[in-house]
Chains A and B, each alone.
Chain A
Amino acid sequence: MKKTGLYIHIPFCIRKCNYCDFVSFSDKFDYVDNYFSHLFIELQYVIDQNKEISFDTVYIGGGTPSSVDSRYIKQIMSIIKNRLTHDCEVTIEVNPATVDINKLSDYLIAGVNRLSIGIQSFEQDLLKSLGRIHSSQEAINTVLLARKAGFKNINIDLIYGIPSINGHNHQTLCDWQHTLEIACGLGITHISAYSLIIEEGTNVYNWGCEYIDDVLDREMFYKCKQMLEKYGFVQYEISNFAVPGYESAHNIRYWKCKEYVGVGLNSASYLNGVRYKNTDDFHRYIGGDYQDKNETEILDEMDMMNEFMMLGFRMIDGPCPEEFKQRFHKDFMDVFGEKLLDLSKRGLIVKTNGRYNLTPKGLDYANEIFREFV
């Protein structure tokens, strides 16, 4: 049986955050039932159509999956139950102030074994400026509750480089350090720390906020790396840190260009060298028209090799030469030798133990490397 990943999108949120550009809605809770009935149809279809597939990673993301009743999650799990590998990593995204101990226990019983909690910051004022619905204390409580419910594998999302939004102060190095200190004391296994990107169409963008000074942004990154390493986390991707053994298997799948199936609004799939995408039009989706045919991208071998390198370099270990050889029956030095040497000369990557990976400078200017492979 072929092993792949499964992504399920749940596009509901109590409130849209000011920086958020994901496909999610705070005004469509009336359609929750309607949405899930279509999601189940699509999921069942995918399962029936791909009988040879089993899932070794499942990721229920959003939106805020925890903003809807846990029976929907239970039903998802029951549809896919027979197709999960025994060691399958099943993650669900939750937000503070949307879960209680019962909901969390429901998830656990249904087979979810990893939680990803969107916390973003432990500073009250920054939470407000980001448009989060929860307080700093509620965030802490949610983590503790998750542990109490029995979750052993918990991620929290944090954001740094928060600009001055709507008259609030921008994030300081001191704020960030404080947030990291709290995070490290919560007994969690994984931290995603993102430098905020102001995406078009978000409130932050429309309000005309400007990025914080990029020197400060980098200081925050170094601070993060330094502190988390002290507490036993290892950086394994540009924005991701884990206690060894707790790396996100689902996300690594993306970075290793392995296959995945997406279900739900605006989800993407990558199967047999073709990338498909579902519509981002909510009403089209609940009208039964799931896929957006215009977004289908057929990758040729060169595309695949380029993506393998581009995404591979997101990981601290860099793209794996053996996997490259196994997949493409070529030596990546034969294909990309010149580019890799050039990037090495520019000090962006370095060869260690037969693998190329990012230098500290390469971490700051990773796009320079990615752009070589698009």
Chain B
Amino acid sequence: MDNIRNFCIIAHIDHGKSTLADRILQETGVLTEREMEEQVLDNMELEKERGITIKAQSVRLNYKADDGKEYIFNLIDTPGHVDFNYEVSRTLAACEGAILVVDSSQGVEAQTLANVYQAIDNNLEIVPVINKIDLPSARPDEVKKEIEDVIGIPCDDAPLVSAKVGIGIHDVLEAIVAKIPAPVSTPGQPCRALVFDSFYDTYKGVIVYCRVMDGSIKKGDTIRFMQSGKEYLVTEVGWFKPGTTIQSQEISAGEVGYIAAAIKNITDATVGDTITLANNPAKEPLPGYKEVQSMVYCGFYPIDGSDYENLRDALFKLQLNDAALIFEPETSQALGFGFRCGFLGLLHLEIIQERISREHNIDLITTTPSVIYHIYKTDGSMETLDNPTNMPNPTDIMRIEEPIVKASIMTPTEYVGNIMDLTTERRGTFINMDYLEETRVIMTYELPLNEVIYDFFDSLKSRTRGYASLNYELIGYKPSNLVKLDILLNNEMIDALSFIVHADKAYTRGRKIASKLKESIPRQQFEIPIQACIGSKIIARETVKAYRKDVLAKCYGGDITRKKKLLEKQKEGKKRMREFGSVEVPQEAFLSVLKLDE
């Protein structure tokens, strides 16, 4: 066990985490040159395309160190985006150490801090690595000092690395051997293994990723999940190679590996549960993780109503790999049958939506995202509300409270003004501002979550030319003057477009949405009024003019096939629209109202 090192890589998004992981794989020879491609650990097409890591991935490596000994590394790659902090937290519990990658031109960023503090809370040994030293703008010495000042980790011998070019990778590997402690366990204890991830395999059932803390597990053992109490016969154990699994005899204390046990139901093997052996069970489970809380809710509706069952299957399959996704059936007057889904944030929402359309080929309509409001009613009761449609009658409401987050924004000082403008627009309350160094500050705000979820991050990036970074955490609820804004198309209310907004911003939002809808709803055979209203009061109005003509003027020459194809194409286009009364609304219209700032 002395030669095992379990570690993860933590970093702010884009600081080069996945590239460093690639290099480590290459250096330890786990992949041949031919197998090597960029972002090896990011399997999902979406991950490669967006250049981000969504799912944590683990891999086992062998490394012959300078001291002549063979070491086994278990590397777990983690996501960097704030929405996926949750994935990071569960990874940490499986490791003894974390490589902290810091971009030598950007320095410490908001998520660097958030991730480091999480790692420290989990008693992880932090190995700082200064990356991207090949960049002309690199300032490794300053960044080292910044890490020491801001985080308080000594950085004297932090490896200076360029993962992209391949400089200093060997130093990183040696630092892992030297600094990260080997796992410890108490011999003779009953088996305990922590489930830190799982995914669904069509042939083998749920594959459980776990870190064995005490004892060992082998094929043929009967395991018990301590929380669910379910027992299963182990059919396979092993460890990971990029993109595949390698079977082994057993996995034992200190090791990271997987277990397959023909588990059909993912809820029997939840992340955070402890696995023990049925014939010699442990007394106490390992400490689990915090339960994930969905921050953002919205409705998913198939454009084609007959896809409802497929959508249910798709969500179920995605949930197998993504415990943070929750959903339950709901109905909308406008959209029919669909699902109310809960997400970690807007990026999470977008990714799920994209995966449903790509991997499951279902066209979706997404309703306006909402946070969870607390509605205090005049009869003294309190309701939680995640769907604006269910908002009680205004006369029954005493007050509404909305979720508030504490947001930390790190930025070069020159953008402080821009950020103040942005946070003021978003109803933020300034808490304080600290200098990290002469030209960089960390600003702390209290912001209503519903102002953060839409496009706060995008706006922040665009107003700071990408230099600012953001992290936020929920701190509680505060009363607020909120109203429900409804959208009427052709005088019919479209419940799916209703949302809750601060009274002061209702007019602006209403007008923006009306004009966005006007752009994205194609002209039809009649005029379509678009109205935004609060209660019965109309606060904005636009009109989509009627079109007057839709006719193929010319059809002769016998080439009827071509004309038919044209008509078929038009028909396909229409299928992607949803009919409300007699108005056809394309999917894009729903999406466009979500991104008002573009």
Contacts and interface: CB of A to CB of B under 8 A. Distances in A.
Interface of A: 7, 22, 61, 194-197, 214-215, 217-218, 238-239, 251, 254-255, 260, 262, 266-270, 275, 277, 295, 297, 307, 310-311, 314, 363-368, 370-371, 374
Nearest to B570: A371
Task: Pick from A22, A260, A275 the residue with the most CB of B within 10 Å.
Answer: A275
Interface in B534-575: 547-561, 564, 567-568, 570-571, 574
B525 interface: yes
Contact of B559 (A218, A277, A367): A277
Contacts of B550: 364-368
Contacts of A270: 558, 560
A307 B564 CA distance: 9
Interface in B105-120: none
B549 A260 contact: no
Interface string B566-598: 011011001000000000000000000000000
Nearest to A361: B525
A267 B525 CA distance: 36
Contact of A217 (B549, B552, B561): B549
Contacts of B548: 214-215, 217-218, 364
A314 B567 contact: no
Given A238-B553, A366-B552, A374 B571 contact: yes
Contact of A61 (B554, B557, B560, B564): B557
A113 to B, nearest CB: 19
A343 to B, nearest CB: 13
- Of residues B551, B553, B555, B560, which shows the largest number of chain A Cβ atoms within 10 Å of its Cβ? B551
A218 B550 CA distance: 10
A371 B570 CA distance: 8
B144 to A, nearest CB: 55
9 contacts: A61-B557, A217-B549, A238-B555, A268-B560, A277-B561, A297-B561, A311-B560, A367-B550, A367-B551
Given A367-B567, A368-B525, 11 more contacts: A7-B557, A195-B549, A214-B549, A217-B549, A218-B549, A238-B553, A260-B558, A270-B558, A364-B548, A366-B552, A370-B552
A295 B564 contact: no
Given A214-B549, A371-B574, A365 B525 contact: yes
Interface in B505-558: 525, 547-558
Given A311-B555, A374-B568, A275 B560 contact: yes
A17 to B, nearest CB: 14
Contacts of A197: 552-554
A195 B555 contact: no
Contacts of B557: 7, 22, 61, 254, 268
B547 A314 contact: no
Highest count of chain A CB atoms <10 Å: which of B550, B552, B558, B560: B558
Contacts of A22: 557
B551 A374 contact: no
A254 B555 contact: yes
A268 B555 CA distance: 13
Contacts of B556: 251, 254-255
Most buried by A among B547, B553, B571: B553
A269 B554 CA distance: 18
Given A214-B547, A214-B549, A215-B548, A367 B570 contact: yes
Contacts of A367: 550-552, 567, 570
Contact of B551 (A260, A275, A365): A365
A195 B559 CA distance: 19
A295 B568 CA distance: 16
A201 to B, nearest CB: 13
A364 B551 contact: yes
A370 B567 contact: yes
A297 B409 CA distance: 62
B567 A371 contact: yes
B560 to A, nearest CB: 7
A22 B109 CA distance: 60
B214 to A, nearest CB: 66
Contacts of B549: 195, 214, 217-218, 364-365
Contacts of B558: 7, 254, 260, 262, 267-270
Contact of A371 (B553, B554, B561, B571): B571
A239 B552 CA distance: 9
Contacts of B559: 266, 268, 277
7 closest Cβ pairs, A-B complex? A268-B558, A366-B551, A195-B553, A214-B549, A367-B550, A214-B548, A374-B567
A338 B552 CA distance: 24
B225 to A, nearest CB: 55
Contacts of A366: 550-552
A194 B553 contact: yes
Nearest to A303: B564
A154 B50 CA distance: 62
Contacts of B553: 194-197, 238-239
Nearest to B582: A346
Given A365-B525, A371-B567, A314 B560 contact: no
Nearest to A363: B551
A262 B558 CA distance: 8
Interface string B207-231: 0000000000000000000000000
Contacts of A238: 551-553, 555
Contacts of B552: 197, 238, 366-367, 370
Contacts of B574: 371
B525 A314 contact: no
Nearest to A267: B558
A346 B405 CA distance: 52
Nearest to B571: A371
A231 B570 CA distance: 37
B414 to A, nearest CB: 41
A61 B556 CA distance: 11
Contacts of A260: 558
B544 to A, nearest CB: 14
Nearest to B574: A371
A203 B134 CA distance: 50
Contacts of A307: 560, 564
Of B555, B556, B567, B574, most buried by chain A (CB within 10 Å of CB) is B556
Contacts of B525: 365, 368
B507 to A, nearest CB: 32
Contacts of A370: 552, 567
Interface in B260-303: none
B560 A254 contact: yes
A362 to B, nearest CB: 9
Interface centre among A267, A268, A295 (most CB of B within 10 A): A268
A67 B553 CA distance: 26
Interface in B451-469: none
A374 B568 CA distance: 6
Contacts of B568: 374
A295 B525 CA distance: 35
Nearest to A266: B559
Contacts of B554: 194, 197, 239
A254 B555 CA distance: 9
A216 to B, nearest CB: 9
A198 to B, nearest CB: 11
Contacts of A295: 561
Given A217-B549, A365-B550, A374 B564 contact: yes
B570 A275 contact: no
